[in-house]
Amino acid sequence: MRKRLIPENAFNQLAKEIKTKKTSRVSRKPFSRSCVASIISAFEDNTYCSKYALVAHSYYAPYVKFLFHTGCRPEEAIALRWRHIEQNRIHFCEAVATDVRIRKTTKTNKPRYFPINAELQTILEAIKPENWKADSLVFPAKNGKELDTHNFLNRVWKPTVQQLVKQGKVKEYLPQYNCRHTFITLCLEDGISSRRVADWCGTSVQVIEEHYAGAIAHIQVASFGLGQAEASDDAEIPPTSST
């Protein structure tokens, strides 16, 4: 080719068409508030749990609620130990990937703290053992080891959510990771800043604003009722009498 023996490299155009980076097909769709309520109820009530199941679905209800209430990654939730739960905050600093079963730092390699509100406090208090140990897992599998999120997804989460879809209680099937997207979206819709949400969820403002632009676009400017207040104040001022 260097000596022009071949007029054109036939692979040039083909090379241009080959993508060097895979296009992300990850769905960041959130569940609606009503769908979240239906999913949690199904787990708590064992609605679709087979009588032959070795573990009742209600056993996983706290884990599911925790994902929805924190927006953390599943691998971060299953890595939590009670020493990571402080009086008013959670220290996310480790993760356990199901495929390799190795404990490591979080995806961003940056530990973070997440505030514990009243709802989270209730979830955690309900599952905290009486004689708990600092190194005990917060969300263990029945055998005491880290929960296998892959098995949970396919054997418990997927069948449950699919049944809810069939019954019209959930719009469409989405995997457990979308609990994270749901939390982020609901926070943004409630007017919480991208910076704050990014800090809570261990991601960047750029990612939040790029992938959740739809939720941000729906945020409305708060109404402070200033006009009404001024009118009320003016009404309280007695008119000046003329002499």
- 119, with CB counted inside 10 A (0-12, 13-18, 19+), is exposed
Go through the chain and tell me how many residues it has.
243
pLDDT on residue 110: 83
Chunked into runs of 10 residues, the chain (243 residues) has average pLDDT values of 49 43 63 97 98 96 98 96 97 82 66 96 96 96 94 97 98 97 94 95 94 71 60 50 48
Query: For residue 20, what pLDDT is reported?
Result: 36
pTM: 0.79
Its sign, for the CA torsion 89, 156, 55, 57, is: positive
State how far the Cα of 138 lies from the Cα of 132, in Å rounded to an integer: 10
Packed helices 118-127 and 61-70: angle between N→C axes, nearest 10 degrees: 150
Q: What is the pLDDT of residue 21?
A: 40
Strands (E), the chain: 89-92, 95-97, 102-104, 112-115
Superfamily of domain 26-215: Intergrase catalytic core (1.10.443.10)
- By the 10 Å C-beta count (0-12 exposed, 13-18 middle, 19+ buried), 163 is classed as middle
Residue recorded with tokens 């939390």: 183
> Which residues, in sequence order, are bridge partners of residue 90?
85, 114
Q: Taking the CB of residue 44, how many other CB atoms lie within 10 A of it?
A: 15
For the CA atoms of 138, 143, 144, 147, the dihedral, rounded to the nearest 10 degrees, stands at -50
How many other CB atoms are found less than 10 A from the CB of residue 122? Answer: 12
DSSP-assigned letter for residue 157:
I
